[in-house]
Structure 1
């Protein structure tokens, strides 16, 4: 009997008996294991039973969620935590269309994710089979690559293509559709079995000699430098970022996936790279004479570069040339990996920043959000007080999730991270509904870390049933419902504009009983002390939980600014 050990992403624990007849589903699962996929997230579907069986036989954990959108959000959040590709498997027709929004979120976030979708058998193509629909045009619009494989012996080849497409340039989701008869069809042992080794890792270009000279010259002249750390620094990590910050005395902000890539609790941190909720960053963008934009482009969170000063020089570094000069022309645009850029900067002569300006920027950020703090009233405590009570009670290993509601914008700027993969937010797309599945997915990706989700009483309703998913698999995460009894992100600006609101109010529901009904624990808290006690109790209990907190309905600086 030939037993071959898979080696995917450096380690694969299970063994496959290669003399056993393998079908298409088995070939897919063998390939996923070799690629280092750690969990498959899915929702029940008859056409994908061969993949389910293969997961059980080959030892690849299968997580059965309550909704396909939630399953895909879980896969994406696992990728954001681990730095590896996530994977979801969905059934045909509406199963695939339920994956559209998570695919859009992953595309806009630059998150690598493999989605495998079923289709009706090839003999029933174009005959109106049950649940059958041509979803490829839809999926091509929300992923980096979407294709259909109709030969079981080519499944591994198609997955190799998907892997290359997924990682090329800026990462993103890919979709492979497989008809049910191909999933259950036999694979030819001579030609159709996957290569049992990890697909090759993507390579990233280094900084050229001439670009290195230009970097050193530009940095030597800078007196008001600002370092912006973007998404690619998460996928291409450098241990020298802290060395660069210390050596050159750089104030820095972190964007999106880069949150925690360097310790945000240190004094040089100038707040999140999120201009709408960071007035200090808006000032720094206008006043800096040199901006080092690494692994990112001037997108919405940076106001598309429109607020930069007229004399500001921009050094932009990204492996994906499509990002270079996007929305704002860089003075020095370098197609290179962030790690190679930091190697050049770490070895360059120390910059001489204007310390008075740097100190002023850092002092502004320290004072900015303290001035926003408010007291409670008969409707609840201030959102900042609630957020602070949660973070004060949580250990520094905690993974935090927020989204795109008014309460989330209060949370974003209060959170600080000292390690990567601790901050998950679907803000790139502005999508509500990702928060709870993100929390569930993070609990599978890092079972040892506490996971806390901030969400309003509107957003929690999308996928609260995924508390059950976590409980069924012995995982735990905590949903903190900041309850202001309305769709606050829309209601508050609506009232400012028109003096009235339109169907924006929500009755106070007992979310603690919802948690208990789904197998978890519920806590209702009206003050910071009880919030802290509830968070500690929920973590100690090791069960999914909801902590419901009535909060004042006050517009966040973000919503006030963009409205």
Structure 2
């Protein structure tokens, strides 16, 4: 514990630095100048963007990749409200971000100061905690406690706003170390019962979700899968927690496995639309979560351990009771998986005009490193990425999550490059999604943050156009200007890029992109008639 005398910005950043926060993402605003002053004078990294949503998404990306709090600083009024979609995404994703907002001065509240707005009622429903700090002497303690809360299961965003007359004031405060991680201990009987169900099932499967990575449980996951001999599928940041080439890792036969399984074990992800709302045919369900708030109220489970995921999975691995032989089940799934992978090779190599989206992923597979960070921002186009790109390393997959918010791409790219300065960063954009955030390429260029962007450019909102045609026989509000040169936008902002129209040009273009050392966009004109074969019920 140390003492510090300083203004509110210095006290806030000192508390965050003590918790491993290393970067601030922001868009300049006078209400939060003391935070900038503190960053400037202490060498705290400051990254500024062109829209507040990108600041929040960048903070979320660092939180996801580092498993430490991410920090977004938003000026008062519209600065805060511009970040609301990003904060909501972090809420749905369980991402531990700290959002510090400016606020009009307390001493003149109600008189109509610039951007005078009470943010707290807006942020409260989408955060774990939202409050106004009214005393400069409380800033360090309140910010530190908020960051600790963001990291406590179930993780999520927190919000504090700091009135101008408070944050510009000075005080002497104690800077406390972070609180020990708060995680409830699972009921041993519930854990043992779940392990026994897995061991005795004839055809079990396990789904690993984002909280497996967030809870540093990836090694325990592999140990549990190997000890209990259970096939593993994954979603979200669960991807890569068991490498795609591990003998117990599966991806292509999820639907068939669910239909045939007699037990589905879901670890660290909600039983939401991505998993058919937890309805797996005749299979019993075991749902393992890190917090009581994550228990599914709409599904009857055979067991539902709640607690630290690494501890629960380690207990699964240590189970020594009676068990069924799962080898024939694993072998049958492996035969189906291998057959599905062989069958997809034709579409990954398809030499069509226009280009099919799958061909882009066939080419990407040959240039992406095993630990490349892949970022998804779009609908149909990035759904193909989820289908055809494999993940081999934990913490290398960033998608918008169940809230489905477009516009994450540039912000996630900024945060990913800050968190992983020496890794490949590849952003997958639908052309519709690209329109939300491409201006932040200027932020990437100006701050020397090279990334590769690939746009699947079919000139439509594909996720809406094809379903609307199926429902109504026509579509409206689903067309974009075909053939737009998004690469020219990136070049105009100081990066580089090119448009690709022929399948044979894809590989060389992608290699140039990864070798460029600047933000580089490969704009691929794709077939607008190609519709992703979506089978999940979104509602």
Task: Provide TM-score, normalisation by structure 1.
Answer: 0.90
* 1:86 maps to 2:70: yes
Residue by residue, what CA displacement relative to the aligned partner does 1:213-267 show, whole Å, maximum 9, x if unpaired?
A: 4244323321101111122211222323223323332111112121111112223
1:334 corresponds in structure 2 to 305
* 1:479 maps to 2:450: no
Compute the displacement of 1:561 (Å): 6.8
Compute the displacement of 1:421 (Å): 1.4
2:315 corresponds in structure 1 to 344
Compute the displacement of 1:212 (Å): 4.5
2:119 corresponds in structure 1 to 135
Distance 1:212 1:73 in 2: 35
Distance 2:192 2:466 in 1: 51
Compute the displacement of 1:351 (Å): 4.2
Paired residues of 2:207 and 2:267 also in contact (CA < 8 A): yes
2:287 corresponds in structure 1 to 316
- Give unpaired runs (5+ residues) of structure 1: 7-17, 272-277
Paired residues of 2:9 and 2:35 also in contact (CA < 8 A): yes
SS of 1:401 mapped into structure 2: strand
Task: Provide TM-score, normalisation by structure 2.
Answer: 0.93
* 1:125 maps to 2:109: yes
Give the direction of change, closer, same or farther, for the CA distance of 1:193–1:24 in structure 2 (3 Å limit).
Answer: farther
Distance 1:314 1:428 in 2: 21
Distance 2:535 2:517 in 1: 35
Paired residues of 1:29 and 1:58 also in contact (CA < 8 A): no
* 1:297 maps to 2:277: no
Residue by residue, what CA displacement relative to the aligned partner does 1:342-398 show, whole Å, maximum 9, x if unpaired?
A: 2222222484344333333333344446656544544x2111111121221122221
2:465 corresponds in structure 1 to 491
Residue 264 of structure 1, aligned match among 233, 237, 244: 244
SS of 2:437 mapped into structure 1: coil
- Give unpaired runs (5+ residues) of structure 2: none
Compute the displacement of 1:321 (Å): 1.4
SS of 1:293 mapped into structure 2: strand
Moved more, 539-548 or 339-348: 339-348
1:15 corresponds in structure 2 to none
Residue 30 of structure 2, aligned match among 22, 34, 46: 46
Distance 1:447 1:246 in 2: 33
Compute the displacement of 1:173 (Å): 0.4
Compute the displacement of 1:404 (Å): 4.0
Compute the displacement of 1:528 (Å): 4.1
Distance 1:123 1:461 in 2: 41
For the aligned residues, what is the CA RMSD?
2.2
2:212 corresponds in structure 1 to 233
Distance 1:315 1:367 in 2: 29
* 1:254 maps to 2:234: yes
Give the direction of change, closer, same or farther, for the CA distance of 1:437–1:220 in structure 2 (3 Å limit).
Answer: closer
Distance 2:196 2:126 in 1: 41
Moved more, 511-520 or 369-378: 369-378
Paired residues of 1:406 and 1:555 also in contact (CA < 8 A): yes
5 Å-filtered alignment, 1:139-154, equals 139-154=123-138
Give the direction of change, closer, same or farther, for the CA distance of 1:213–1:490 in structure 2 (3 Å limit).
Answer: closer
